[in-house]
Amino acid sequence: MKEIAKILIFGGGLLLVLGVVVYFLGDKLKWFGNLPGDIRIERPGFSFYMPITSMVLLSVVFSAVIWLVRKLF
């Protein structure tokens, strides 16, 4: 049960830090979601958005962070 508690505390702290970053730097992150490769289709009465490139970039960053955490601890 202590392991689950540690995971929840770490996840909550990570969400808190992410929320603070988005709150204070949100206007500086407008490029995210508008990268080449993000699909956006807008027509009258219909809107479709698929952020392929943004999600690949986010996946690479998260994978690198997780790899560093596992390597250091």
SS3 43: strand
pLDDT for the residue 41: 93
- Residue 39: its pLDDT value, please? 92
Q: What is the pTM of this model?
A: 0.63
CB 29 within 8 A of CB 18: no
Task: Report residue 22 as tokens.
Answer: 């988005």
pLDDT in tens, 17-71: 989 988 998 888 788 888 899 999 999 999 999 999 999 998 998 899 888 888 8
